[in-house]
Amino acid sequence: MTADCLFCKIAASELPGHILHEDEAIVAFLDINPIREGHTQIVPRAHYAFFDDLPPELAARILHLGQRLAAVQKRLYGVRRVAFCFTGSDVPHAHAHLLPMHAPTDITSRRYIAEEKITFRATPRVPDAVLAETASRLRRELAGA
């Protein structure tokens, strides 16, 4: 654990999170500034700054949980695709984003942007009560998957 790492603190239960899954190696929780409802972060409990630092077995474990959660999100949100990607640009702790894709632009790419210069803004923070309800539904579905 790294003392000043936000995701290390959530994984160690030192900070609150809307937890969907946890085991001895990984934790999955809802993003508080989701792109779409159900936007989930999957993080290793141990601190790795970059995706390519993850031991292959740990990366496989994250991917496997991502596949299970993707099946749940497809059922729950009625989508055909669920995005799964590692970014690491906001929090320097290897983490996967998982989110139901309602539109191809839910994961932004220059391919979809016509303007030369664009301005990005943070997505709004979702109230804890809404996140708690979303987490409850996803946990129930995951338990039955």
Q: What residue type is assigned to position 41 of the chain?
A: Q
Pairing of strands 96-101, 40-44: antiparallel
Pairing of strands 96-101, 81-86: antiparallel
Q: What residue type is assigned to position 54 of the chain?
A: L
Catalytic residues: 95
Question: Cα separation of 26 and 66, whole Å?
Answer: 11
The angle subtended at Cα 64 by Cα 31 and Cα 124, nearest 5°, is: 10
